[in-house]
A and B are shown apart, each in its own frame.
Chain A
Amino acid sequence: MAKVHLICFFASYLVAFVLELTRMLGQNRFSRFVMLGFGGAGFVAHTLYLLARSRASGLPPLLSSPHDWMLVLAWLLVLFYLFLTALHREIALGLFMLPLVLALIAATRFMAVSPEPHFNARNAWTMLHASLLVFGMAGVVLGLIAGLMYLTQHHRLKSSHAAQFGWKMPSLERLAQFNRWSVMIAFPLLTLGFGIGVYLVVRPQQGPGHIGFNDPVVVASSVLWGLLAVLFLWLLKHHHPSGRQVAWLTICAFAFLLIAVVGLQVLSGSGLFHTEAHTATGEAKHRLLSRQESPA
């Protein structure tokens, strides 16, 4: 299990994506099975990697580090992709989903691989915070993909190019519904997740991990949440918004959110983006972690 590296599943997903691209040339049952095989093999390697990391750190993958948290997000997306591709063999979901999965995995290469020092990993609130955020972000990515698929399908239909061989997508009606529901589900999850996160970092505590309201991560997260809140309220207010408008808005909001969240994690993990909490050296983090793990 310890021999599984990030490159193993990255390469598997990359091959699955290339095979997905070849399906545009025509439906081929064999290439579909090979594609699902590579996707499945990558998923198994991905799972083993997360388990090995979790065993090494003694923490659940969601809490062991931003690197692992992001990999859990990618894992959820691959699970969704495999499930839908097995169920609807003609829909070219991988063309949209796999590049995002690959980008997320590539981004984890630059993220911190040790736990956040200001979080008590044994606290149930911390677990809830990380879980809500990861599910909320999964909703964000799925909404982004639904939006992209909607615009692609809309363009094809407007230019009279209906379903081509091996290159099919769900109907505009279904994509619009999916898009709307992704916002409706992702927003409450992210709101709760951000809320608990803010509570966890600003509550009175001592040690090198304490940060305040002026921390850039907190500020950036609040701005992003505000953006999402505007979109959410707009959707609630307009009962029949145009599918294309919703698609554009979700793409803009979700892409910005995704880039910002991943960007913040990458910058803080690479040491380019310093906050009081993030200046804690690896040594200090380990000290903190060992203190948290002690029975006292």
Chain B
Amino acid sequence: MNLQVVYCSHHAADLSVRSKLGFTADELPRAYDELRAHFPASELVLLSTCNRVEVYTAQEDPEQIPTHRALAEFMARFHDLPLHEFFDDLLERTGSDAVRHLFQVASSLDSMVLGEPQIVAQVKAAYSLAQDHATTGPLTHALFQRALNVAKRIRSETALAEGRVSIASVAVGDFGKSIFDRFDDKVVLVIGAGEMAVETLRYLQNEGAREILVANRTEARAEALAAEWGGRVCPFEQLDQALAAADVIVSTTGAQPHLVDVARFRRVRQASGSKTVFILDLGAPRDFAPEIRDVDENVFLYCIDDLEAICARNRKARNREVDKALSIVEQETERFMAEVHHRATGPIIKRLREQWREVVDQETGRLFTRLPHLERDRAEIERCIDQMVNKLLHPPLEALRDEARAGAPHGLMEALKRLFRLHDSE
């Protein structure tokens, strides 16, 4: 059996190349149709995400393996691109290296953000789509199912996916959810309309936040953001009222001097009472004076440095788990390859047993014809011969199994074929 992957990923290829080679959800059915037309003898799975484009192929006959160049030409044709624009960015792995690569991809060891959870779902979806297009076979079934199990094992046996590593996820997941139990009854005020505000809003909406106020010096941008997230625009002149009404404040303007100083915030607190307020100051420089943290016990103010410190600590903790995860990948790759090689010996073992069975049947038939008085002991004699056959076959088959554990036992299989005159056609 032969297995390979031709791929480009964020490690070697620029975003411009990846985006050109990527397959959208609408393009994938046509891509599968064309792949099947060009490589009818191969099992095929296509994995396309924003960080990687990978084509896995597997086939019984080594003569039928699609070459690196053939797959690159397919991509060039499909995307209508000159081959030289991306050929050097396409890498290739074969055999156990291809298996190891998929296991690392599925368990997020090859991801841009170590431990990110989306990739396993993307691998699962790619495998499922390949099944729908009937391009999978015994080897790709075994490979992808094992890859999903390896990802699960790494997730449960290591802390690779523990702790959040993006500013917005730490802000909402670690701090916000430690303060508030729910967000659907909270008022969220977003000051500024930067990228960080948008990402934080995404997390807050995932947690159920519904009432969103947007305040920005440029009202058109505030209106656009409010429209995108189903919020309301708050005029910048009425910021104090909005600050008093808000339970969660996300500020990203980076104004100088501070947008809200202690005196202003004290006035806001007089209007809002002592309710708990969670402030995310994501502006650089800070929008809220640091002393606001101590205005009263129900004010929880965090700046980008607080959040970045947690992200860095979590990234460090994840990195400590990489060796453990890689050793699991290594174990699983070895196990998978041993199973594949063992499976490859199956037809030889079957043919050998069938051949010996035929010889036994012929000779016992002849014996009982010549010596009919042995008929009453027929069962006992047949059992004895079966045991002899099993004992004689045991050493060569055991040697074959041992060889399969170390790698493809091509030499031994060839020797068995020649010694016992086993033919491929059988």
Residues of A within 8 A of B (CB): 26-27, 29, 153-154, 156-158, 160, 162-163, 165, 169-174, 177, 240, 242-244
Contacts and interface: CB of A to CB of B under 8 A. Distances in A.
Contacts of B156: 29
A157 B297 contact: no
Given A157-B178, A174-B181, A165 B302 contact: no
A154 B181 contact: no
Given A158-B297, A169-B178, A240-B273, 4 more contacts: A153-B178, A156-B178, A162-B170, A173-B181
A170 B181 CA distance: 8
11 contacts: A26-B159, A156-B178, A158-B300, A160-B306, A162-B310, A165-B317, A172-B179, A173-B181, A173-B276, A242-B297, A243-B298
Contacts of B273: 240
A202 to B, nearest CB: 44
A113 B179 CA distance: 45
Nearest to A161: B310
Contact of B178 (A27, A162, A243, A244): A162
Interface residues of B, number: 26
A174 B181 CA distance: 6
B159 A171 contact: no
A90 to B, nearest CB: 10
A175 B28 CA distance: 50
B305 to A, nearest CB: 9
Interface string B170-183: 10001101111110
A171 B297 contact: no
B159 A172 contact: no
A240 B300 contact: no
Given A160-B302, A165-B317, A27 B162 contact: yes
A165 B181 contact: no
A171 B300 contact: no
Nearest to B314: A165
A171 B276 contact: no
A171 B175 contact: no
B179 A173 contact: yes
A24 to B, nearest CB: 14
A293 B180 CA distance: 55
Contact of A154 (B293, B297, B302, B306): B297
Contacts of A170: 181
A171 B274 contact: no
Contacts of A163: 174, 178
B297 A244 contact: yes
A171 B306 contact: no
Contacts of B179: 157, 171-173
B163 interface: yes
Nearest to A245: B297
Contacts of A160: 302, 306, 309
B275 A240 contact: yes
A91 to B, nearest CB: 12
Contacts of B310: 162
Contacts of B297: 154, 158, 242, 244
A169 B178 CA distance: 8
A215 B273 CA distance: 47
B163 A162 contact: no
